[in-house]
Amino acid sequence: MTALALSQAVHADATLERIKSRGTLTVGVVLDGTYGSLDPQTRKPIGYNVELAQDLARRLGVKFEAVEVTPPNRVQFLQQGKVDALIASMQYTKERDEILSYVPTPFEEIGGSAMVHKGSGIHDWNDLRGKPVCVSQGSNYTRPLIEQYGAQVKGFKGMPEALLALRGGTCVASVHVTPGIEARLTGASGEWQDYESPIADQLIPSPSVIWVRKGETDTVAALDKIVKEWHRSGFLIDEGNKWHMPPSKQLLAWHQEYSSK
């Protein structure tokens, strides 16, 4: 075994051991209103991703601590050891796989949708060619928007900032995870009543996975067992419905697959 491989193996063993010896699992979550937010009364994190992270800690037999991250800093927080794992709106990509490790069993499959002003004339992804499009910094939608559809992509700190830029006329569309777009368009406040999501096909539907530091094989194995149990029990479907995010066809298929084993 090389020195690098040995150091990675020791690091992997130490990570899960550190979680248990500390008695706390620290998970980075995005609190932009899509999968998580701050409770206005308690000022504590709540939401879909927060409850997934809480259940990870419960099943590991440790306490839970949420750390707010944003698309620009989430990878840095993980690599610097500020969090043990990320459940932070990060679908699988080859680029992320090169610098991080991930739990191989996904917990959902999610693609991107575009929010545009009603009457914009945009009906297809190809209609974005040559036009300014807002995204969150670090978004996995940046590459296909540029390479496949020729859009002029503008990155912002997060989804709220990108949507404000759309409203201000900086972009003709703002592209983000479909549940985030749908939640805003159907919100009771009517804040986005002049906007729509007219493109039927989701942009690059991809597996939503839990990310950890590179080489953390023990942590990956422990968390993968939990995610498989989530699928078997229907926990993920229940959580999605609770937080107004109907399960994808792929999530339903995974539930069928794992519950029959």
Shared domain check, 101 and 115: no
How far apart CA 187 and CA 181 sit, in angstroms, is 10
Shared domain check, 8 and 103: yes
114-to-117, 144, 245 alpha-carbon distances in Å: 10, 13, 17
Residue 86 pLDDT grade (very low, low, confident, very high; cuts 50, 70, 90): very high
Q: 205, 233, 248: which is the final residue of a domain?
A: 205
Shared domain check, 65 and 29: yes
pLDDT of residue 3: 42
Instruction: Please choose, from the candidates 105, 108, 97, 106, the residue with its C-alpha nearest in 3D space to the C-alpha of residue 213.
Output: 97
Convert the pLDDT of each residue in 168-212 to its tens digit.
999 999 999 999 999 899 887 889 999 999 999 999 999 999 999
pLDDT of residue 187: 81
Identify the domain containing residue 229 by its residue range.
3-107+209-259
Residue 12 pLDDT grade (very low, low, confident, very high; cuts 50, 70, 90): very low
- Can you give the CATH number for the domain in which 115 is found? 3.40.190.10
Shared domain check, 40 and 56: yes
pLDDT of residue 192: 96
Shared domain check, 82 and 55: yes
How far apart CA 165 and CA 175 sit, in angstroms, is 12
Convert the pLDDT of each residue in 223-240 to its tens digit.
999 999 999 999 999 999
pLDDT of residue 170: 98
Q: 167, 189, 205: which is the final residue of a domain?
A: 205
What is the per-residue burial (b if ≥16 Cβ within 10 Å, else e) of 174-211?
A: bbbbbbbbbbbeeeeeeebeebbbbbeebbbbbbbbbb
Residue 10 pLDDT grade (very low, low, confident, very high; cuts 50, 70, 90): very low
